[in-house]
Amino acid sequence: MALFDDNIRKQLAQILDGLKNDVHVVFFSQEIECESCHDAHQFVEELCAINPKLKMRRYNLVTDAEKAAEYKVDKVPAVVMLDKDGNDTNIRFFGIPGGYEINSFLGALLEVSGERQELPEDILKRIQKIDKDIHIQVFVTLSCPHCPGAVITAHRLALENPKIKADMIEANTFVPLSIKYNVSGVPKIVINGEHELLGDQPITAFLDVIEKI
């Protein structure tokens, strides 16, 4: 049975019409011990089928271990987004981007395709000045309306600076990781494993923390 009904598919098609260039959507899953992998696969497959600019590739975490290592994917289900030239944007989605997160997924697709919202000059300068390795993990749940905002901000940072990596992590899918970072309220933003932000913080709040690292 199809995941998206006709109404939603029409809306998605309209939104995806805004894609500028191709986006390579690289999907990782595994056969056993991954409850959400089947649904995640269906989600990504059906969505990519809506617009020819979305090129989907599928790998298995176990049997395609070198690919997993290449894209630094250590858990599934995972989506890696590459730009039209196959370059890694360092944008990751771990878990199914359903619920409210479909918005951050679509947002990422559009931005990676080249359809970027304008950022103020001074913010862009601050992002480009960052020269340390930064890993941002944004913990979300699918029923959290404020979460996509934080994910979109984190992914935008990753897009503008190759030193920055940003992950959306669905908290209920990756429970040991959520426990490790004491996630009890979302969105929870963890930077380089130790600096925390809570809530849909503006990009300046992210930068304030990153610049102090």
Partner 1 sequence: MDFNLSSSLFVGEQKFNAFASDKIYDVIIIGGGPAGMTAAVYCLRKGMSTGLITRQVGGQMADTAGIENYLGYRYINGVELADKFHDQVMQFGIDFENNTTVKSIKDGLYKEVILDDGRIFKTKTIIVASGKLPRKLNVPGEKEFTGHGVTYCAICDGPFYKDKKVVVAGGGNAGIGAAIDLARIATHVTVVQRRDRLKADKVLVDKLKHFDNVEVLLGHVVREIHGSTTVESVAVENRETGAQIDIPADGIFVEVGSIPNSELARGLLHMNELDEIVIDAFGRTNKEGIFAAGDVTDVPYKQIIIACGDAAKAALSATDYILSNPNF
Q: Which is nearer to partner 1, 90 or 104 (CB)?
A: 104
Which residues lie closer than 8 Å to 69 by C-beta, 6 or more apart? none
Answer for which of 21, 63, 128, 143 binds partner 1 (CB under 8 A) is 143
Any contact of residue 183 with partner 1 (CB under 8 A)? yes
Plot region of 107 (φ>0 → left; ψ -120 to 50 → alpha; else → beta): alpha
Tokens of 202: 């503006």
Q: Which two tokens stand for residue 9?
A: 């598919």
CA 20 to chain centre: 19
Alpha-carbon span 139 to 172, nearest angstrom: 9
Q: Which is nearer to partner 1, 68 or 190 (CB)?
A: 190
Question: Would you say 145 and 186 are in contact if contact means Cβ atoms under 8 Å apart?
Answer: no
Our finding on whether 188 is near partner 1 (CB under 8 A) is: yes
**What are the residues facing 144 on neighbouring strands?**
none
| 210 scored as a contact of partner 1 (CB under 8 A) | no
* Smallest distance from partner 1 to CB 66, Å: 31
Minimum distance of partner 1 from residue 141's CB (angstroms): 6
- The interface region with partner 1, picked from 52-60, 95-103, 126-134, 159-167 by CB under 8 A, is 95-103
The span of 50-58, 81-89, 160-168, 182-190 binding partner 1 (CB under 8 A) equals: 182-190
Burial class (CB in 10 A: 0-12, 13-18, 19+), 131: exposed
User: Which CB sits closer to partner 1, 68 or 142?
Assistant: 142
CA distances from 140 to 27, 117, 210 (A): 19, 23, 20
Closest by alpha carbon to 183, among 204, 201, 168, 198?
Answer: 198
Q: Is residue 20 involved in binding partner 1 (CB under 8 A)? A: no
114 binds partner 1 (CB under 8 A): no
Question: If binding is defined by CB under 8 A, does position 49 make contact with partner 1?
Answer: no
174 binds partner 1 (CB under 8 A): no
Paired with 138 in beta bridges are 168, 189
Site for partner 1 contains 12 (CB under 8 A):
yes
Residues that bind partner 1 (CB under 8 A): 3-4, 8, 11-12, 14-15, 18, 39, 43, 96, 98-100, 102-103, 106-107, 110, 120, 141-146, 148, 172, 182-186, 188, 196, 198, 200, 202, 204
